[in-house]
Structure 1
Amino acid sequence: MLKLFRKPRPNYDALSKLRPPSLEGMDEILGINMRNALIAKYNPRHAIERARDKVAAKVALEAAGIACTGTVAVIDDHQKLGAFKPSRDMPDAWAIKPARGSQGDGILLAVRREGNTWYKGSGAPLTEEAVMHHIQKVVDGGFSGDSAAEDAALIEPLIIADPALSRIVPEGLPDLRVISLHHNPLMAMVRLPTLESDGKANLHQRAIGAGIDMETGRITRAVVKGTPITHHPDTGVNLIGFEIPGWERVLELAAKCGPAVGLGYCGADIVLDVNDGPLVIEVNAHPGIEIQNICQAGLKVRIAATGEDFR
């Protein structure tokens, strides 16, 4: 049986022996109904709501000693909005995120500043008025994706990617998704921005999804919208065999995220900062199952290896 995530880390050799040689054995695949059953079993409603709110999740993660991205400000009402002045209160490079946003909606990034004007990665200018307008739209719930009347704007310092990863992509910030059950990391991929994805690490916008070997931290397979590739289409860098920096630390962080937020089954999103190494940016209470197609491996058998009974 797979060992629970304690040092030493999970016995991935034992896990791999449980894995069928191909995906033709559909019992290996975790379907959407079974995923939903796991969520219903292990993810209580209050924990799901906490995970959906980036601010609340960050508070819980930091209370558990988990390294997260920094915080410049949280603007969650119009009084704070009125007292906020970007030219005074914001750094030269930053990210604005809706606390309850999803799929990258409402995220605004600035990579540099000249006077009271910031610039996107594309070179487009952002005036102080434009920044305030965006923050107000976030606070008014324009990107919340649900019935919430208001939201909070989470402003963070811009993460600068680890050089080993930044040389792979033309622009943007790669991130890692690690699926875990309790303290057990089960499957992982790295999402790599492309020019076609506008520098965003969103698979539905044609970023690259690359499966990672859990034992070595090396990329084993990469796809764009279901099409296998071996090299990044923009930089030409070979992806297969690339080793994720700080892989042991990534697994340690991922193993702690669910319990910290109160989730039993979750996806941890982690970035690799040039100075601080792996940092958690988000915890997802409803991680998708597409990662199995990217990795060409099934989650069900890995979950069963932890002792979970699917009967």
Structure 2
Amino acid sequence: MDWISPRALNRLGMLNMNRRNVDYIARYNERSSYPLVDNKLKTKLVVAEYEVKTPRLLQVVRQQHEISHFREMAEDLQGFAIKPAKGSGGKGITVITGRDGEEYVKASGARVNTAYLELHLSNILAGLYSLAGTPDVAIVESLVESAPSLARYSFQGVPDIRIIVFRGYPVMAMLRLATTASDGKANLHQGAVGVGLDIGSGRSLNAVQFNRPITLHPDTGLALGSIVIDAWPQMLEMAARCYEATGLGYMGVDLVIDHREGPLLLELNARPGLAIQMANGRGLLPRLHTIEKLKRPHFTPTERAHYAMTTFASV
């Protein structure tokens, strides 16, 4: 669809932050469920019970003395990711994509040694990246290698798909592509590209960077108007399953497509941002109201995903 201005989006049901916080997050998200999504390790464990796949867990570092085991564990690995369990916004995540002799190669191409990574693990445990600066746990996961058909659109970082799930229904989605400006991270506020996706088909609708419309990726130069996400119904069903896993009525579900493992859950967000509306060129409110008005909600994730694909498909 053609680009719609922010003023027009307001008339079409743009959800603002205050209304999101009061009418949706506070109303539909139980506080007791927050620890499940604010801690990546707890998220991995709980969604596994609902058959939602995540990157393979290689090591959990809870105490300083356990850091010494990292060197031995990583000796034969070509790639992995180190993450703070309670980090947010991508802070503290270090992605290793290869080896160069005794050194590890980061996603940016920089070389680091084992001592650097051990210090990073120590900083994570000290709470340097945690939400409240409290002591944290470090997790080491297998490296996600994006499917080539999608990876070519992103610059250095792995592209991911954010899906807003309301009362178990996927209501809006976007593809996030890393750029030079975003330093290889899929964070729209830092300059990543957001590509709105049709819930009905997984096809791209339009794209934005810094809330401005674009048609080409600023680094790769590739056109963004003809992207199609593989395994789309499966991804919507995975997102819907996270409702049963957490009990959260309003959340963001972040998925990636690994070229060997297929769709994987990266993390959940109980306070998802609103830029997804700009990427889609339409507001969330009409879709949220549609779900709220349902007299007979669907009980299974498969049914809810199918309903969303049918009801919210772009015409």
Is the pair's TM-score, using the shorter chain for normalization, greater than 0.5? Answer: yes
Deviation, structure 1 residue 192: 0.3
Mark the runs of 5 or more structure 2 residues left unpaired by the alignment: 1-7, 295-315
Name the residue aligned to 1:72: 58
Mark the runs of 5 or more structure 1 residues left unpaired by the alignment: 1-21
Deviation, structure 1 residue 24: 4.9
Q: Which amino acid aligns with 1:199?
A: G
Q: What are the Cα deviations for residues 237-278 of structure 1, in whole angstroms up to 9, with x where unaligned?
A: 111121111111111111111321221111000001001111
| In 2: Cα distance, 1:32 partner to 1:114 partner | 46
Alignment of 1:61-140 (within 5 A): 61-81=47-67, 83-89=68-74, 91-140=77-126
Name the residue aligned to 1:207: 192
Deviation, structure 1 residue 147: 4.2
Q: What are the Cα deviations for residues 194-253 of structure 1, in whole angstroms up to 9, with x where unaligned?
A: 122222111122110111111111111101101211111222211112111111111111
| In 2: Cα distance, 1:94 partner to 1:88 partner | 11
Contact 1:164 1:245 (C-alpha < 8 Å) held by counterparts: no
Aligned residues: 285
Name the residue aligned to 2:297: none
Q: Which 10-residue stretch deviates more, 37-46 or 216-225?
A: 37-46
1:296 has 2:281 as partner: yes
| In 1: Cα distance, 2:250 partner to 2:109 partner | 40
| In 2: Cα distance, 1:85 partner to 1:214 partner | 41
Deviation, structure 1 residue 116: 3.1
- After the TM superposition, which segments of 4 or more aligned residues of structure 1 sit over 6 Å from their partners? none
1:234 has 2:219 as partner: yes
| In 1: Cα distance, 2:185 partner to 2:157 partner | 6
**TM-score, L = length of structure 1:** 0.87
| In 2: Cα distance, 1:88 partner to 1:267 partner | 32
Contact 1:87 1:116 (C-alpha < 8 Å) held by counterparts: no
Q: Which amino acid aligns with 2:36?
A: R
Q: What are the Cα deviations for residues 172-206 of structure 1, in whole angstroms up to 9, with x where unaligned?
A: 10001000112200000010011222221111221
Q: Classify 1:198/1:147 alpha carbon distance in 2 versus 1 (closer, same or farther; 3 Å).
A: closer
**TM-score, L = length of structure 2:** 0.86
Q: Classify 1:288/1:88 alpha carbon distance in 2 versus 1 (closer, same or farther; 3 Å).
A: closer
Deviation, structure 1 residue 87: 4.2
Q: Classify 1:87/1:114 alpha carbon distance in 2 versus 1 (closer, same or farther; 3 Å).
A: farther
| In 2: Cα distance, 1:30 partner to 1:199 partner | 28
1:261 has 2:246 as partner: yes
Contact 2:155 2:177 (C-alpha < 8 Å) held by counterparts: no
Q: Which amino acid aligns with 2:212?
A: T
Deviation, structure 1 residue 85: 3.1
Q: Classify 1:218/1:58 alpha carbon distance in 2 versus 1 (closer, same or farther; 3 Å).
A: same
Name the residue aligned to 2:141: 156
Contact 1:95 1:158 (C-alpha < 8 Å) held by counterparts: yes
Aligned residues: CA RMSD: 1.6
Name the residue aligned to 1:31: 16
Q: What are the Cα deviations for residues 152-171 of structure 1, in whole angstroms up to 9, with x where unaligned?
A: 11111110001111121232
| In 1: Cα distance, 2:40 partner to 2:142 partner | 15
Contact 1:209 1:224 (C-alpha < 8 Å) held by counterparts: yes
